[in-house]
Amino acid sequence: MILLDRVSKSYGKRKSAVLQRVSLHIEAKEFVIVVGASGAGKSTLLKLLTREEKPTSGKIIVGGIDYETLKDRDVPKLRRKIGVVFQDFKLLPNKTVYENVAFALEIIGISTKEIKHTVPRVLDIVGLKDKQDNMPMELSGGERQRVAIARAIVRQPKILIADEPTGNLDPKHAWDVIRVLEKINKYGTTVILTTHNQEIVNKLKRRVVTVSDGKIASDDSSGKYTL
């Protein structure tokens, strides 16, 4: 599903390496947690997967697509296979919950009939079917994050990247979000979660990939991580 082979990424004239010869393989339907200190290279790793950035060297293959031969015009098509959720929700404040999720389908030309069928089903998955007419500001932080997740999965991506999705949430709402991610993973979506929350990592007991100074410091399936 996801293969990084000796991937490096450098910026600037001095070519300081943010990632150094990173190799990583993630199977379809896996749930993988990526951890590491701020500045370790986690965000750059995710940007390479979504093709926001290109590697300085090395090979990236996602879902059978070789990024080396991927044309820029085909990048939007690639991104439909990869849903992304951020720490700060990025919802449209002047649209309802339903409209926020529907918008992700409207911009790729899905019919109104199909949208009316799909959006309620996805809102039901994230537990917000009864909030579809609410505006974002009427929701709790956890509910807003679940709307963001619904928007990310409404196009049925093969991969969901959740970049610090619980960073701004209290423990209860954080776990509401994590449970939704687990449910999505059970439906067959590959989930990549980045987090600084050690309790979440240890309770989930999933594969943990630790990034340190631009390298994979450890890749552990025991589900334990110590800051």
* Sequence spans of domains, the chain: 1-81+157-227, 91-156
- The confidence score (pLDDT) of residue 11 equals 86
CA neighbours within 13 Å on the CB side: how many for 200? Answer: 26
What span, in angstroms and rounded, lies between the C-alpha atoms of 174 and 180?
A: 10
- Strands across the sheet with 57-62, in order? 16-26, 2-11, 57-62, 65-66
Fold of the domain built from segment(s) 1-81+157-227? Rossmann fold (3.40.50)
* Mutual angle of helices 141-153 and 112-125, in 10-degree steps: 130
Which residues lie closer than 8 Å to 186 by C-beta, 6 or more apart? none
Q: What is the pLDDT along the chain (227 residues), one digit of tens a residue?
A: 899 999 999 987 666 789 999 999 999 999 999 999 888 999 899 999 999 999 999 999 998 999 999 999 999 888 889 999 988 888 999 999 999 999 999 998 999 999 999 999 999 999 999 999 999 999 999 999 999 999 999 999 999 999 999 988 999 999 999 999 999 999 999 999 999 999 999 999 999 999 999 999 999 987 666 65
The values of phi and psi at residue 10, to 5°, are: -125, 150
Q: Look-up: residue for tokens 């990592």?
A: 201
Task: Yes or no: say if 50 and 57 are a contact pair by the CB < 8 Å rule.
Answer: no
pLDDT in tens, 178-217: 999 999 999 999 999 999 999 999 999 999 999 999 999 9
The length of the chain in residues reads: 227
Q: How many whole angstroms from its chain centre is CA 81?
A: 11
What is this structure's pTM? 0.92
Query: What was the pLDDT predicted at 222?
Result: 73
Structure tokens at 143: 């509910």
For residue 225, the model assigns a pLDDT of: 61
- Residue 86 CB neighbours (<10 A): 15
* Element holding 99 (H helix, E strand): helix 97-106
